[in-house]
Amino acid sequence: MRLTGEKRNVPRLEIKAFLAGDLGRAVQKYLLVGGASALIDWALFAAAFYALGLHHLVSGGLSFLLAVGVNYWLSVRFVFGTGKRARNERIFLLYLVSAIGLGFNLSILEVCISYLDLNAMIAKIVATGMVLGWNFSARYYFIFRK
Protein backbone atom coordinates (compact mmCIF):
# COMPACT_ATOMS: atom_id res chain seq x y z
CA MET A 1 0.00 0.00 0.00
CA ARG A 2 1.35 3.36 -0.97
CA LEU A 3 0.79 6.51 1.04
CA THR A 4 1.39 8.90 -1.86
CA GLY A 5 -2.24 9.76 -2.46
CA GLU A 6 -2.57 7.25 -5.26
CA LYS A 7 -6.14 6.07 -5.78
CA ARG A 8 -6.79 2.36 -5.52
CA ASN A 9 -9.44 0.51 -7.43
CA VAL A 10 -11.66 -0.61 -4.57
CA PRO A 11 -15.04 -2.15 -5.37
CA ARG A 12 -17.78 0.11 -4.04
CA LEU A 13 -21.34 -0.67 -3.27
CA GLU A 14 -23.33 1.32 -5.75
CA ILE A 15 -26.26 2.47 -3.63
CA LYS A 16 -28.37 3.69 -6.54
CA ALA A 17 -27.92 0.43 -8.43
CA PHE A 18 -28.77 -1.61 -5.32
CA LEU A 19 -31.89 0.43 -4.58
CA ALA A 20 -33.04 0.11 -8.20
CA GLY A 21 -32.65 -3.70 -8.22
CA ASP A 22 -35.22 -6.25 -7.08
CA LEU A 23 -33.62 -6.82 -3.68
CA GLY A 24 -33.18 -3.10 -3.03
CA ARG A 25 -36.79 -2.32 -3.87
CA ALA A 26 -37.97 -5.19 -1.67
CA VAL A 27 -35.83 -3.92 1.22
CA GLN A 28 -37.27 -0.42 0.87
CA LYS A 29 -40.85 -1.67 0.79
CA TYR A 30 -40.23 -4.12 3.63
CA LEU A 31 -38.85 -1.33 5.82
CA LEU A 32 -42.17 0.48 5.43
CA VAL A 33 -44.25 -2.66 5.98
CA GLY A 34 -41.98 -3.78 8.81
CA GLY A 35 -42.18 -0.31 10.35
CA ALA A 36 -45.97 -0.40 10.33
CA SER A 37 -45.92 -3.91 11.80
CA ALA A 38 -43.41 -2.83 14.44
CA LEU A 39 -45.63 0.08 15.50
CA ILE A 40 -48.53 -2.34 15.90
CA ASP A 41 -46.29 -4.77 17.81
CA TRP A 42 -45.09 -2.02 20.15
CA ALA A 43 -48.57 -0.59 20.74
CA LEU A 44 -50.00 -4.02 21.55
CA PHE A 45 -47.02 -4.83 23.77
CA ALA A 46 -47.45 -1.57 25.69
CA ALA A 47 -51.19 -2.17 26.11
CA ALA A 48 -50.70 -5.74 27.35
CA PHE A 49 -47.72 -4.96 29.59
CA TYR A 50 -48.64 -1.56 31.05
CA ALA A 51 -52.44 -1.45 30.83
CA LEU A 52 -53.27 -5.11 31.44
CA GLY A 53 -50.27 -5.87 33.64
CA LEU A 54 -49.32 -9.06 31.79
CA HIS A 55 -45.80 -10.50 32.13
CA HIS A 56 -43.34 -9.13 29.56
CA LEU A 57 -42.95 -12.50 27.84
CA VAL A 58 -46.72 -12.98 27.53
CA SER A 59 -47.13 -9.40 26.31
CA GLY A 60 -44.26 -9.81 23.86
CA GLY A 61 -45.57 -13.11 22.53
CA LEU A 62 -49.12 -11.87 22.00
CA SER A 63 -48.09 -8.62 20.36
CA PHE A 64 -45.55 -10.36 18.11
CA LEU A 65 -48.02 -12.99 16.91
CA LEU A 66 -50.70 -10.41 16.09
CA ALA A 67 -48.18 -8.19 14.31
CA VAL A 68 -47.06 -11.20 12.21
CA GLY A 69 -50.57 -11.50 10.78
CA VAL A 70 -50.58 -7.83 9.81
CA ASN A 71 -47.05 -8.18 8.41
CA TYR A 72 -48.07 -11.17 6.28
CA TRP A 73 -51.00 -9.33 4.74
CA LEU A 74 -48.96 -6.18 4.05
CA SER A 75 -46.00 -8.21 2.73
CA VAL A 76 -48.13 -10.12 0.22
CA ARG A 77 -50.00 -6.98 -0.81
CA PHE A 78 -47.11 -4.51 -1.11
CA VAL A 79 -43.71 -6.24 -1.01
CA PHE A 80 -43.33 -9.82 -2.13
CA GLY A 81 -46.54 -10.76 -3.90
CA THR A 82 -47.54 -14.37 -3.55
CA GLY A 83 -44.43 -16.05 -4.94
CA LYS A 84 -44.55 -19.64 -6.24
CA ARG A 85 -45.93 -21.31 -3.15
CA ALA A 86 -49.58 -22.08 -2.48
CA ARG A 87 -51.33 -19.86 0.07
CA ASN A 88 -51.53 -22.55 2.77
CA GLU A 89 -47.86 -23.40 2.31
CA ARG A 90 -46.89 -19.69 2.54
CA ILE A 91 -48.90 -19.24 5.72
CA PHE A 92 -47.42 -22.38 7.29
CA LEU A 93 -43.87 -21.28 6.39
CA LEU A 94 -44.56 -17.75 7.58
CA TYR A 95 -45.61 -19.00 11.00
CA LEU A 96 -42.65 -21.40 11.11
CA VAL A 97 -40.24 -18.57 10.31
CA SER A 98 -42.15 -16.33 12.73
CA ALA A 99 -41.92 -18.93 15.50
CA ILE A 100 -38.14 -18.82 15.13
CA GLY A 101 -38.31 -15.01 15.07
CA LEU A 102 -40.53 -15.10 18.16
CA GLY A 103 -37.92 -17.23 19.93
CA PHE A 104 -35.25 -14.67 19.06
CA ASN A 105 -37.53 -11.80 20.03
CA LEU A 106 -38.52 -13.21 23.42
CA SER A 107 -34.95 -14.27 24.23
CA ILE A 108 -33.65 -10.79 23.51
CA LEU A 109 -36.56 -9.27 25.46
CA GLU A 110 -35.79 -11.48 28.47
CA VAL A 111 -32.06 -10.70 28.41
CA CYS A 112 -32.69 -6.96 28.04
CA ILE A 113 -35.25 -6.78 30.86
CA SER A 114 -34.08 -9.41 33.34
CA TYR A 115 -30.32 -9.18 32.93
CA LEU A 116 -29.59 -5.74 31.50
CA ASP A 117 -32.39 -4.05 33.47
CA LEU A 118 -33.63 -2.07 30.46
CA ASN A 119 -37.02 -0.41 30.38
CA ALA A 120 -39.57 -2.84 28.88
CA MET A 121 -40.42 -0.63 25.87
CA ILE A 122 -36.74 0.00 25.10
CA ALA A 123 -36.14 -3.75 25.35
CA LYS A 124 -39.05 -4.44 22.97
CA ILE A 125 -37.69 -1.94 20.44
CA VAL A 126 -34.19 -3.47 20.68
CA ALA A 127 -35.62 -6.97 20.19
CA THR A 128 -37.66 -5.85 17.19
CA GLY A 129 -34.65 -4.23 15.56
CA MET A 130 -32.47 -7.27 16.10
CA VAL A 131 -35.02 -9.67 14.60
CA LEU A 132 -35.72 -7.46 11.55
CA GLY A 133 -32.90 -8.95 9.45
CA TRP A 134 -34.04 -12.51 10.13
CA ASN A 135 -37.64 -11.70 9.22
CA PHE A 136 -36.79 -10.00 5.92
CA SER A 137 -34.22 -12.59 4.84
CA ALA A 138 -36.44 -15.57 5.59
CA ARG A 139 -39.39 -14.04 3.78
CA TYR A 140 -37.42 -12.84 0.74
CA TYR A 141 -35.27 -15.91 0.18
CA PHE A 142 -37.44 -18.70 1.58
CA ILE A 143 -41.16 -17.99 1.75
CA PHE A 144 -41.89 -15.62 -1.14
CA ARG A 145 -39.11 -16.56 -3.57
CA LYS A 146 -40.12 -16.19 -7.17
Find all residues with CB under 8 Å of 22, minimum gap 6, and list them: none
Read off the pTM. Answer: 0.73
Task: State the Cα angle at 11 between 7 and 16, rounded to 5°.
Answer: 115
Confidence of residue 20 (pLDDT cuts 50, 70, 90): low
More confident residue, 51 or 3: 51
Number of other residues whose CB lies within 10 A of the CB of residue 57 = 16
Residue 72 has pLDDT above 70, yes or no: yes
* pLDDT tens-digit series, residues 79-123: 877 777 888 888 888 889 888 988 999 999 999 999 999 999 999
> Quick one: pLDDT at residue 19?
66
> Quick one: pLDDT at residue 141?
85
The chain-wide mean pLDDT, for the chain, equals 85
Residue 1 has pLDDT above 50, yes or no: no
- Which whole-number Å values give the CA distances from 13 to 19, 23, 48, in the listed order? 11, 14, 43
